[in-house]
Chains A and B, each alone.
Chain A
Amino acid sequence: MSRSHSHSTDFPVCCIIPPVILRNLAEKGDDTQRDLAFHVLQVSAHLRGKREAIGSFAFAAAVSTGQKRRTIYDAQNRRVLPGKLVRGEGGPRSKDAMVNEAYDGSGKTYDFYQKVFGRNSIDDHGMRLDSTVHYGRRYMNAFWDGQQMVYGDGDGQIFERFTKCLDVIGHELTHGVTQYEADLVYEDQPGALNEHFSDVFGSLVKQYARKQKADKADWLIGKGLFAKGIKGVALRSMKAPGTAFNDPLIGKDDQPAHMKDFVKTSDDNGGVHINSGIPNKAFYELAIRLGGFAWERAGRIWYVTLRDRLRTDSEFQDCATATFDVARELYGADSVEQRAVRDAWDVVGIKVGQTSARKAKAAGVGRLVVNATRRR
């Protein structure tokens, strides 16, 4: 894969331009210069793990809050990113379905994060949402490359175009959110959690757009992505991991739904798309237990966990314990929500808070008010 050097977010740029010039551009440059400077400052600061080092002035100057900015590129069936610019924010609809789906889908995902969690884009600082469509020839995949979303056309025999499903778009964009928050390393259990959070929020973006309650949602990821003739409903099922497809050409969905079936493998970065079935099932169980709109309580607990509690090397047990603690902080010790979190993880064979909830109650720890805005 190659990346064209005309792209404004190209990494070498961040190493060449001195930070002082970038800060000046961020404050005083024209729109394009400010976008560039802002992005480079933030990416490089993030890579150093020192977001604070940039200073809030640059953000305030470079970006107005709550603004949605989408850019769609066309790779014209080559493997070069980002490709040719084909639609910017507010630009007219294209004749190309993939361009419009990437534009609308990233917009719906932005709206979900903004309205439900008060989050301003992938980085929570108004980052531009870049997507490239028609990547590669009959390319059967979609991915997040660390800077943008990328979608292939599919081959028409196994997969349709990868912009077709809103939850797939939400999944890819959430990989960006994870990169800017817990930054879960993409292998083994932390990698499976990275996948899990993308499935959770991908599904919630779809449920939110459809105003669906938990018991009415399909809990499928990528429904309609398989071409006609493939025996399968979707890529994954959060409700029943391991049941999404079974086809002679592509094989069988082998996601486990319980820790006893955890798969040890060197494929797929340690089975990141396989073992995500375990936490996926736990989230589904929580959402069903709580009822109503899944993004309101279950989604909030998971969002705060991803944003504030996990580290790059967090594993399933760390995640489960963190959601249990967050549920207490948001809704109270031994609340309906906290008990539902414990029961949901129990379904997949992960134990949390066997005694801590009762202890906390006995010690008189009351409900803490924590909202989903960043505490910094």
Chain B
Amino acid sequence: MRVSVKKSGGIAGLKVRAEIDSEQLSPKQEREMKDLVERADLFDQPAKPGGKSMPDQFQYEVTVEDQGKTHSFVTNEAAASDDLLELVDWLIAASKRKGS
């Protein structure tokens, strides 16, 4: 399973990217990631957020690939569930560990 996220916006307007392939993780991290992905219902997310964007909140562009299926969507802080926000934070932290 591969998940990529691009976070943009916020008052600073900075961009952060992360892309994680579960096959390259330790077994423990792989379980963590799959659990987070499942709770965040990635494949069921609408392509665009329903509500308006609120000023200075973050925007997330997410792509998930698993067993030949791919789904991409854009969401933001106002629309995203806590589980999805947790997954995004986890992916960015994992990407930083990978990079350092």
Closest to A143 in B: B56
Determine, out of A25-33, A205-213, A268-276, the stretch whose residues face the partner at the interface: A268-276
B54/A267 in contact, CB under 8 A: no
B97 CB to closest chain A CB, in angstroms? 15
A267/B14 in contact, CB under 8 A: no
- In this assembly, does B24 line the interface, its C-beta being within 8 Å of a C-beta of chain A? no
In the assembled complex, which residues on chain B have CB atoms less than 8 Å from the CB atom of A222? 11-12
B59/A268 in contact, CB under 8 A: yes
B52/A186 in contact, CB under 8 A: yes
B52/A141 in contact, CB under 8 A: no
Contact of B55 among A198, A250, A274 (CB under 8 A): A198
Complex CA gap A171/B74 in Å reads: 26
In the assembled complex, which residues on chain B have CB atoms less than 8 Å from the CB atom of A268? 8-9, 13, 15, 59
Q: Which of B40-66 contact A (CB under 8 A)?
A: 52-59, 61
A1/B10 in contact, CB under 8 A: no
* Given known A-B contacts A143-B55, A144-B55, A198-B55, A1 and B77 have beta carbons under 8 A apart: yes
In the assembled complex, which residues on chain A have CB atoms less than 8 Å from the CB atom of B77? 1, 143
In the assembled complex, which residues on chain B have CB atoms less than 8 Å from the CB atom of A172? 11, 55-56
- In this assembly, does B38 line the interface, its C-beta being within 8 Å of a C-beta of chain A? no
In the assembled complex, which residues on chain A have CB atoms less than 8 Å from the CB atom of B6? 267
Contact size class for A? 35 or more
B12/A2 in contact, CB under 8 A: no
Chain B contact residues: helix, strand, loop or mixed: loop
In the assembled complex, which residues on chain A have CB atoms less than 8 Å from the CB atom of B11? 141-143, 162, 168, 171-172, 222, 235, 273
* Given known A-B contacts A1-B78, A268-B8, A144 and B56 have beta carbons under 8 A apart: yes
A194/B13 in contact, CB under 8 A: no
- In this assembly, does B35 line the interface, its C-beta being within 8 Å of a C-beta of chain A? no
* Given known A-B contacts A79-B82, A269-B59, A274-B13, A145 and B8 have beta carbons under 8 A apart: no
- In this assembly, does B85 line the interface, its C-beta being within 8 Å of a C-beta of chain A? yes
In the assembled complex, which residues on chain A have CB atoms less than 8 Å from the CB atom of B12? 140-141, 159, 222, 225, 235, 250, 273
Closest to B10 in A: A141
- In this assembly, does A239 line the interface, its C-beta being within 8 Å of a C-beta of chain B? no
Complex CA gap A250/B60 in Å reads: 17
B14/A250 in contact, CB under 8 A: yes
Contact with B along A159-191 (1 / 0, CB 8 A): 100100000100110010010000001110001
Complex CA gap A317/B82 in Å reads: 39
- Identify 16 new A-B residue pairs, CB closer than 8 A, beyond the known A143-B10, A186-B55, A273-B10: A1-B78, A1-B80, A2-B82, A143-B57, A145-B78, A159-B12, A178-B55, A186-B52, A195-B55, A222-B12, A266-B61, A267-B9, A268-B15, A273-B9, A273-B13, A274-B13
26 A/B residue pairs, CB under 8 Å, sorted by A: A1-B77, A1-B82, A1-B85, A141-B12, A141-B56, A142-B11, A143-B54, A143-B56, A143-B77, A145-B78, A146-B54, A171-B56, A172-B55, A178-B55, A186-B54, A222-B11, A225-B12, A235-B12, A266-B61, A267-B6, A268-B15, A268-B59, A269-B9, A269-B59, A273-B11, A273-B12
- In the A-B complex, list the 7 residue pairs whose CB atoms are closest, starting with the nearest: A273-B13, A143-B56, A267-B8, A175-B55, A268-B8, A268-B9, A141-B10
